[in-house]
Amino acid sequence: MRVLVVEDYEPIREAVAQALREDGFAVDTAIDGKNGLWMARSSEHDAIVLDIMLPEIDGFELLSSLRSDDINVPILLLTARDGIDDRIRGLNGGADDYLVKPFAVAELVARVHALIRRSYGDADSKIVIGEIAIDTAARNVQRDGKAIELTAREFALLELLARKRGKVVSRTEIWNSLYDFSSESTSNVVDVYIGYLRKKLDRGAVDSFIKTRRGQGYIIEGSSE
Amino acid sequence: MNPSLHSRLATTIGFMMLMLFAISGVVLALLLENALWSEFDAALRNRLFSLTQLVEQDAEGVSFEWDEASPALPTMFVEGETITAWKDTQVLSVFPPDATTLDRIDTAEAGKDIRFDDRPQLRTARFSFAPRLDEEDGALPSDADVITLAVGQSTSVIDMTIVRLRWTIVAVGLLGAISSIAIAWFVVGHGLRPLADVTKQVSRLRPDSLDQRIAMDDSLPRELHPLLETLNALLDRLEQAFEHERSFSADVAHELRTPLAGLRAKTELAIAKPRTADEHQQTLTQCHRMILQTSAIVESLLATATSSGETMVSGVNPESVLLKLAEDMVAETTKRQLNFKFRIPQFFELKCDPRTVEIILRNLMENAVAYADCESEIDVIAEQSPVVTTIRIANAATGFPAEDISQVFDRFWRRDTSRSETGNHSGLGLSLCKRLVESMNGTIEATCQHDVFTVNLRLPNAQLTNDKQSSANMQMLKRSDCSGTADRWDTDG
């Protein structure tokens, strides 16, 4: 999952980005509204964390520009203003959630997860496909009731495929979700992580949980139970 | 408890009416009594004259007709009347016969004015005269005798009438006074009702409803309009002050929340999982920077909050202050390769609070150092007229947005809204300067032309405590603005 953080105040920007990365997100950061708008338009993100008081273009204006471009990515507004008018303006302008500074980082991460889950149409944080149960809130995976240890990036890859279950997800799409602008990895790394996941999830099963569609990408078949 | 205006006015009016009734009653009583006595005396006089016609003298002597008539005859007898006639000291007649003799004094000459005297319960009238002569009844005396006739009339009826009259006047007076107090109470209450309505309106005002004003409709007496206009003007000022404080608090909360959010995010992240020593070191460094920024905001806020305190006026040499401040900033100016260029006349002194002047100049110079283009000069120019001292601080500011010039004295305004670019600047410095300069009856304005940002500071040479003198100073400042005697600095130069 890939998140864009647009915040001019460096300590907050770094802390939020680090917290999201440690939770398995690929995170792009922008220090002003102009850069933020450019990054949001040039790459697909699963969510945007957007400060309101920004240099160049403020958060409200950026939000309005994205919505008028039909970019419907979930947006979480961050602001130091807690006035009702500001909240109403933000939510009416197309924001999906609102968080007032100072906030708990864990709460921000949880809200980003919730926004992404809702954008994929999942009401529950638990996804059960066959013998595999994925809890995106608790960040754990079980097979037949037994816990499987995954790294943050492996979990993020599994969550992406599980959310898009029944659909083929291309390598480029996976790479875009796992790595931010600054990453220099190649798409080959996707195959490597798919290999790690299969080894941990399949545990000697005949059919792999993650199927390969040659020349197209990867897919988890089935629907959530 | 103080008496209400209502009771005070009603009591005053009631007391005045009581006094008016009392004086009027006394005057009326005196006039009426006098009139009664005049009527009584006139009747007595007429009676006396009519009695003189009943006295006759013939050869045998003086005869009185009432002695010959029966006392029962109503024409001769008036109830309560006593008649006495005497000649010299000899009583000639008393009527009724059993009546007490009236005083035999004053054998005055005939034709003298009637003399009135009072005896207990009797008012008497005396008259000396020569009785009528009976020519048919024999020889006449050679000289007519002078007879004194006195008639007394009981005053009991008139005394009772006067007592009744007095009591009537007292009763009417008291009734009138009481009625007056009641009427005054009602009238005053009616007159004060608009004031009570206004009081109700004012009492309904709350800090959260300061946008309301006291209604001034046509039903209110015009005497109240100046008071209500003053009250509404006061409410305007109160609302502005409340709004100012509310907005100030909101701005403060907003500005403090951002570094606090950074601190919270950084520390939460640091303790969320085990970190290396380097990571902790980096977190602490960033936290320290945020604490410094927060401290700068708090310091500026404190300076703003205390700027309206007592001031100490003494001679200040701005040159020494400016040079000292430039020394304090040498680290930053060296780092940014800035150079101060001073043009300050000699014998230059201001009469003002040195602390305030230092705060103003420090903020202006820090602002110039923070935002001047690197490798540029900061010009500090001072001029002095007999009344006003002008200090201009100008720095190169390439790319300064001209549309922002009107906001530079707003609280928390920063040239670059990205806080990371402005170090520990709180955005309160220029706002604080404006407030302090205004407290000194001076003016401050900012201009930006040809990429040169200039702050013009004008201070009266002497800080006066008297309002009149301060006002005079302001007038002089305004005149100097209008006439252009305070030259604008050529930003190109």
Residue B39 confidence (pLDDT): 92
Q: Which domain holds residue A110?
A: 2-119
Give the SS3 label for residue B220.
coil
| Residue B128, phi-psi category: left (phi > 0), alpha (psi -120 to 50), beta (remainder) | beta
A11 and A106 fall within a common domain: yes
Residue A8 has its nearest CB partner, among B255, B263, B420, at B420
**What are the φ/ψ torsions at residue B84 (nearest 5 degrees)?**
-135, 135
- Measure the N-to-C terminal CA separation of chain A; round to a whole number of Å: 23
Burial of B45 from C-beta contacts in 10 A (0-12 / 13-18 / 19+): middle
Q: Which letter does DSSP use for residue B1 in this model? A: -
Nearest CA in chain A to B283: A11
* Cα B129-B131-B132 angle, rounded to 5 deg: 135
Which of the pair, B375 or B293, is modelled with greater confidence? B375
A159 and A103 fall within a common domain: no
* Cα B431-B435-B438 angle, rounded to 5 deg: 135
A144 within some domain: yes
Residues paired with B380 in a beta bridge: B342, B393
Chain B residues in contact with A16 by the CB 8 A cut-off are 265
- Contact B286/A103, CB-based, under 8 Å? no
Instruction: Domain ranges for chain B, please list them.
Output: 5-161, 307-483
Residue B118 confidence (pLDDT): 65
Nearest CA in chain B to A33: B418
Place of tokens 């005079």: B472
pLDDT digits (tens, 9 = 90+) for B233-249: 888 888 887 877 776 67
Residue B167 confidence (pLDDT): 92
What is the domain-level CATH number for residue A20?
3.40.50.2300
Q: Which letter does DSSP use for residue B456 in this model? A: E
Selected from 3.30.565.10, 3.10.450.40, 3.10.28.10, 3.90.480.20, the CATH number assigned to the domain covering B307-483 reads 3.30.565.10
pLDDT digits (tens, 9 = 90+) for A46-58: 999 999 888 778 8
pTM for the whole thing?
0.52
Query: A220: closest CA among A143, A166, A141?
Result: A166
Question: Is the per-residue pLDDT at B101 higher than 60?
Answer: yes
A65 and A146 fall within a common domain: no
Q: Does B468 contact chain A (CB < 8 Å)?
A: no
A95 and A184 fall within a common domain: no
What CA–CA distance (Å, rounded) separates A100 from A96? Answer: 14
Chain A residues in contact with B250 by the CB 8 A cut-off are 81, 83
A112 within some domain: yes
Residue type, B349: E
Give the DSSP H or E segment for B214. Answer: none
Q: Does B175 contact chain A (CB < 8 Å)?
A: no
Residue B184 confidence (pLDDT): 85
Q: What confidence tier does A28 reach under pLDDT thresholds 50, 70, 90?
A: very high
Evaluated on CA atoms B206, B210, B212, B216, the torsion sign reads positive
| Average pLDDT over all residues of chain A | 86
Region A186-195 average pLDDT:
81
Question: Is the per-residue pLDDT at A36 higher than 50?
Answer: yes
Chain A residues in contact with B419 by the CB 8 A cut-off are 8-9
Residue B392 confidence (pLDDT): 92
Q: Mark which of A119, A134, A168 sits at the end of a domain.
A: A119
pLDDT digits (tens, 9 = 90+) for B133-144: 776 655 555 556
Residues paired with B82 in a beta bridge: B152
Question: Is the per-residue pLDDT at B346 higher than 80?
Answer: no
A78 and A170 fall within a common domain: no
Q: CA of B266, closest CA in chain A: separation in Å?
A: 5
Whether the Cβ atoms of residue A220 and residue A161 lie closer than 8 Å to each other: yes
What CA–CA distance (Å, rounded) separates B394 from B377? Answer: 9
Region A11-28 average pLDDT:
90
pLDDT digits (tens, 9 = 90+) for A137-166: 888 899 888 889 888 888 988 988 998 888
Question: Is the per-residue pLDDT at B89 higher than 50?
Answer: yes
Place of tokens 């690929």: A26
What CA–CA distance (Å, rounded) separates B485 from A181? Answer: 60
What CA–CA distance (Å, rounded) separates A111 from A16? Answer: 12
Residue B492 confidence (pLDDT): 31
Q: CA of B352, closest CA in chain A: separation in Å?
A: 40
Residue type, A44: E
- Contact B257/A101, CB-based, under 8 Å? yes
A9 and A106 fall within a common domain: yes
Query: A48: closest CA among A34, A58, A63?
Result: A63
Region B364-373 average pLDDT:
87
Which of the pair, A187 or B165, is modelled with greater confidence? B165
Tokens linked to B403? 């549309």
* Cα B242-B247-B253 angle, rounded to 5 deg: 125
Residue B126 confidence (pLDDT): 84
Nearest CA in chain A to B249: A81
A115 and A133 fall within a common domain: no
Torsion of CA B280, B283, B287, B289, to 10 degrees: 120
Residue type, A80: A
A73 and A130 fall within a common domain: no
| Average pLDDT over all residues of chain B | 77
Query: A12: closest CA among B289, B422, B249, B277?
Result: B289
What CA–CA distance (Å, rounded) separates B14 from B20? Answer: 10
Q: Mark which of A79, A103, A119 sits at the end of a domain.
A: A119
Q: What confidence tier does B318 reach under pLDDT thresholds 50, 70, 90?
A: confident
Rg of the Cα trace of chain A? 18
Helices marked H in B79-131: none
- In chain B, the percentage of residues whose pLDDT exceeds 90 is 7
Tokens linked to A11? 């300590």
pLDDT digits (tens, 9 = 90+) for B428-452: 678 778 877 887 888 999 888 888 8
Residues 6+ apart with CB under 8 A from B132: B53, B55, B56, B57
Q: What confidence tier does B489 reach under pLDDT thresholds 50, 70, 90?
A: very low
Residue B484 confidence (pLDDT): 33
Checking ipTM against 0.85, whether it exceeds it is: no
DSSP output for B143-202: SPPPEEEEEEEE-HHHHHHHHHHHHHHHHHHHHHHHHHHHHHHHHHHHHHHHHHHHHHHH
Residue B152 confidence (pLDDT): 86
Region B182-207 average pLDDT:
84
| Residue A196, phi-psi category: left (phi > 0), alpha (psi -120 to 50), beta (remainder) | alpha
A84 and A178 fall within a common domain: no
Question: Is the per-residue pLDDT at B73 higher than 90?
Answer: no
Torsion of CA B201, B202, B203, B207, to 10 degrees: 120
Q: Does B272 contact chain A (CB < 8 Å)?
A: yes
Chain B residues in contact with A106 by the CB 8 A cut-off are 268, 272
Which of the pair, B492 or B435, is modelled with greater confidence? B435
Question: Is the per-residue pLDDT at B110 higher than 70?
Answer: no
Highest mean pLDDT out of B101-110, B301-310, B338-347, B390-399: B390-399
**What are the φ/ψ torsions at residue B270 (nearest 5 degrees)?**
-65, -35
pLDDT digits (tens, 9 = 90+) for B146-181: 888 888 888 888 889 989 999 998 898 888 888 888
Region B289-308 average pLDDT:
71
Whether the Cβ atoms of residue B415 and residue B400 lie closer than 8 Å to each other: yes
Residue B305 confidence (pLDDT): 60
Q: CA of B373, closest CA in chain A: separation in Å?
A: 19
Q: What confidence tier does B471 reach under pLDDT thresholds 50, 70, 90?
A: very low
- Contact A102/B253, CB-based, under 8 Å? no
Q: CA of B377, closest CA in chain A: separation in Å?
A: 27
A225 within some domain: no
A109 and A160 fall within a common domain: no
Q: Mark which of A89, A119, A149 sits at the end of a domain.
A: A119
A89 and A42 fall within a common domain: yes
Which of the pair, A61 or B146, is modelled with greater confidence? A61
Query: B315: closest CA among B354, B276, B288?
Result: B354
**What are the φ/ψ torsions at residue A95 (nearest 5 degrees)?**
-75, 150
A224 within some domain: no
Number of structural domains (chain A) is 2
What CA–CA distance (Å, rounded) separates B311 from B351? Answer: 12
A90 and A142 fall within a common domain: no
Region B185-195 average pLDDT:
85
What CA–CA distance (Å, rounded) separates A127 from B183? Answer: 89
Residue A73 confidence (pLDDT): 93
Size of interface A-B (CB pairs under 8 A): 84
Q: What confidence tier does A39 reach under pLDDT thresholds 50, 70, 90?
A: very high
Region B249-263 average pLDDT:
77
Q: Does B417 contact chain A (CB < 8 Å)?
A: yes
Nearest CA in chain B to A56: B417
Question: Is the per-residue pLDDT at B257 higher than 60?
Answer: yes
Residue A112 confidence (pLDDT): 93
Between B64-68, B230-234, B287-291, B480-484, the lowest mean confidence (pLDDT) is in: B480-484
Residue B421 confidence (pLDDT): 42
Residue type, B26: V
What CA–CA distance (Å, rounded) separates B493 from B490? Answer: 5
pLDDT digits (tens, 9 = 90+) for B30-50: 999 999 999 988 988 898 888
